[in-house]
Amino acid sequence: MLLLMVTTLLKTNRILLFSFLTLFACPFVVILNPDYSSAAIKGLTLSPLRTELDIAPGTSLDGTLKVTNSTDKPMTVDLSAEEFSVINQQYDYAFSEQSDLTKWVTFNPAEVNLVAGETKEMPFSVGVPLSAEPGGRYISLLAGTDTDVSDGGVSLRQRVASFLYITVLGDITRVGNLISLSSPWAIGGKSSWSVALQNTGSTHFRSRYNVQIYNLLGNGLAASMSGDSLILPGTVRLVSDDLPLPEFLGAYKIVYTIGLGDTPAMVETRFMIYIPQIIIIAGLIILLISGVILIRKRKNKS
């Protein structure tokens, strides 16, 4: 019946035709026009991206980095270490060469030649002084090379990092606090939630979180998700993730369980209304059609 009404009105009203096409075409633009770009990113790569180490004072641990030349030319790669920290709640990194912490790391060798496409394993060692106080220490292992970026011989210094999250063992604490929680109250499609987490302890901890969405009418689990994020000591981190979507429209209860290190996990409850976008679009179309019908009836009466 709806299709018959739309067809009849489209034959007599070009404005409605334009509105109808706009409402239905826009949601599918991305689907019909995907990004088919397949250009590979070439250069210097380093793995693993992150390593967590627990080391007692006066001892050391050995590790290995994989360095890869993913270009079509040979390169010389040198390894170095810098202390790193974060400068805001989004966890943008800051690096410091002038730190005694970098003396904890030794490379053997500290330089390697790679032919095109070659991967080599580079050993390193982390030695913690006997006098080191317990707590978190954060070091970036950097691989650098000079790369020609133009036919004119312009040289670019390229560096990639592997992060070491070190806990010096001893009397350490992992104390987390939930500063704020942002949760949407009404959604029609993809949405997100966020929390600001503070670590007042002496070393980092991994905040593991779980989100469960319950149907208020049926009281059953409608959707859920989980994840985790590292929180450094003395910082506040803004953690954000996608909200899982239930299958049907309705009113829902959201239960957030946020891990806070050695502190008991925080459980927060919020409520939301979910109306799928397709229902919103259908409602707008019905309103549009009803409005046109009403206008035409008034014109016929006059």
Domain boundaries, the chain: 44-168, 173-276
Token pair for 243: 């909200």
- Measure CA 98 to chain center: 30
- Measure CA 148 to chain center: 32
Q: What is the pLDDT along the chain (302 residues), one digit of tens a residue?
A: 333 333 333 333 433 333 333 333 333 222 223 332 323 345 899 999 999 999 999 999 999 999 999 988 999 999 999 999 999 999 999 999 889 999 999 999 999 999 999 999 999 999 999 999 999 999 999 999 987 655 555 667 889 999 999 999 999 999 999 999 999 999 988 999 999 999 999 999 999 999 999 998 877 899 999 999 999 999 999 999 999 999 888 899 999 999 999 999 999 999 999 988 666 666 677 778 777 778 877 777 76
Please tell me the distance from the alpha carbon of residue 285 to that of residue 27, in angstroms, as a whole number. Answer: 14
What is the reported pLDDT for 40?
34
Q: Is 58 helix (H, G, I), strand (E, B) or coil?
A: coil
The torsion angles phi and psi of 135, rounded to 5 degrees, stand at 140, -175
Token pair for 57: 């004072």
**Within 13 Å, how many C-alpha atoms sit on residue 147's CB side?**
20
Nearest one of 152, 140, 153, 155 to 76, comparing CA atoms: 155
**β-bridge partners, 177:** 198
DSSP 8-state class, residue 36 = -
Whether the domain at 44-168 and the domain at 173-276 fall into the same CATH topology: yes
Top CATH class of 173-276 equals: mainly beta
Q: How far apart are the first and last CA of the chain?
A: 28
Residues 140-168 have pLDDT tens digits of 999 999 876 555 556 678 899 999 999 99
Cβ density class 65-96: b for 16+ within 10 Å, e for less: bebbbbbeeebebebebbbbebeebebeeeee
Please tell me the distance from the alpha carbon of residue 279 to that of residue 286, in angstroms, as a whole number. Answer: 10
Q: Which fold has domain 44-168?
A: Immunoglobulin-like (2.60.40)
Please tell me the distance from the alpha carbon of residue 70 to that of residue 92, in angstroms, as a whole number. Answer: 26
Per DSSP (E only), the strands in the chain are: 44-47, 50-55, 60-69, 75-86, 93-96, 105-107, 111-114, 119-127, 135-148, 155-168, 176-182, 186-187, 192-199, 205-215, 221-231, 235-242, 250-260, 263-274
